[in-house]
Amino acid sequence: MSDSREKKKIVFSTGAGVSAESGLSTFRDAGGLWEQYPVMQVASAEGFAADPALVHKFYNARRRDLVSKEPNEAHRLIADLQRDFDVRVITQNVDDLHERAGSREVLHLHGELMKLRDVADPGYIETLSAPDLESSPDTLSRDGKGRHMRPHIVFFGEAVPNIEPAMELVEQADVFVVIGTSLNVYPAAGLLAYVRSGVPIYYIDPSPADVKGLRDVTVIRKKATEGMAELAAILRNNQ
């Protein structure tokens, strides 16, 4: 017998902070990636045009790091909520930890680290797996058609094709949850504006960006794993 009630739609918008407890660096915290690397050289369209080999090397290093990491309890708690809710995850992260924790509906705004795509045809995408984790400007497609491949990452200065479906998801949310993002980067940071009025918003982050000006946001000033444990209890009590 199926449950006739529609499941509540919980939409998550996650940033690097949700993967911090898995051991992946964030970008703007002390010691973060943008302190270690020149962001415009390794993560912008201009940088890729100027020195594609450097950009491939940067993502090769991040990919090697990622395969040695595991999802953390926050990723798992989000996936577990799929038992009782219609859960959608929008993420700025390029890691695959949400998927590896069991989340089935994950929309990546800034691309996916484990994927390469044809420089000329963004619709042609290949997934990498260990031990073949490296790419270079000489990497050609596996289909034998000689396509030149690039990291399947949205560089600064490039469009964010998934932002429209993300906005639609946020407009359908019955609960909207932001986890581990400094809300520095648009259009991702602007998703908050698409939450229907009256829909509760939670923001889990140990040092959250200032959201006072925004509509009633419940800030859970905790790390993702602790904050998600607290939120899962709230959501199940208010089911």
The binding site for ligand APR (CB under 6 A) comprises 15-17, 20-21, 26-29, 32, 92, 110, 180-182, 184-185, 205-207, 223-224
Catalytic annotation present for 108: no
Classify residue 17 by its DSSP letter.
G
Q: Which residue is nearest to ligand APR (CB)?
A: 17
CA 190, CA 208: separation in Å to the nearest integer? 16
Question: Token pair of 225, please?
Answer: 């794993």
- Residue 203's alpha-carbon distances to 4, 15, 166, 176, in angstroms, are 30, 11, 17, 9
For ligand APR, the closer of residues 92 and 135 by Cβ is 92
Nearer to ligand APR, 110 or 152 (CB): 110
What token pair was written down for 219? 């800030």
From the candidates 108, 110, 148, 152, give the one annotated as an active-site residue.
110
- Token pair 């925004």 is found at 214
Minimum distance from CB of 109 to ligand APR (Å)?
7
Considering beta carbons, is residue 7 or 100 the nearer one to ligand APR? 100
CB of 21 to ligand APR, least distance (A): 5
Burial code of 167-198, b = ≥16 C-beta within 10 A, e = fewer?
bebbeebbbbbbbbbbbebeebbebbebbeee
- If we measure between CA atoms, which residue out of 228, 239, 238 comes closest to residue 12? 228
Alpha-helical regions (H) of the chain = 33-36, 39-42, 45-50, 52-67, 73-80, 97-101, 163-172, 224-237
56 or 147, CB closer to ligand APR? 56
Residues marked as catalytic: 110
